[in-house]
Amino acid sequence: MTRSAAADVTPRTCAWPRCQVAVRADRLMCVPDWRRVPKPLRDAIWEHYRHGQTALTCTPEYREALRAVMTWARERQAEADAQAARAAELAALQEPLW
Ligand SMILES: [Zn+2]
């Protein structure tokens, strides 16, 4: 039986919100973003990851681990966005003073 290798070479981007870095098909995130994720969450991904799995074939445990990682990432990104918005607001307020 021959199997298409297409799934293995499909370019994909990092799963971190809005990160556009290209990653290998068997990686969830780019290295800098992956390192930001707390170790227990990363360990859960590795524990349940199976090579060649897809969204349709992955286990419920993997899906749950993925959900935890993505929830954590979205929260961190939302905090960073809010901080950037406050900084921009402050800069806009100070501008007329100069
Ligand atoms: Zn990334």
Mean pLDDT for the chain overall? 88
- Of 16-25, 65-74, 87-96, the one with minimum mean pLDDT is 87-96
Helix (H, G, I), strand (E, B) or coil at 22: strand
Domain presence at residue 87: yes
Q: Which residues, other chains included, contact 74 with Cβ-Cβ below 8 Å and sequence gap of 6+? A: 17
In a domain, 1, yes or no: no
pLDDT in tens, 16-59: 999 999 998 888 999 999 999 999 999 999 999 998 888 899 99
pLDDT at position 98, please?
Answer: 61
- What does each C-alpha distance from 32 to 35, 51, 55 come to in angstroms? 5, 22, 24
Domain span at 20: 6-97
In a domain, residue 83? The reply is yes
Count structural domains, the chain: 1
Please tell me the distance between residue 3's alpha carbon and the centre of ligand 1 in angstroms: 30
φ, ψ of residue 57 to 5 degrees: the values are: -105, -5
Q: How far is the CA of 56 from the centre of ligand 1 (A)?
A: 24
Residue 14 lies in a domain: yes
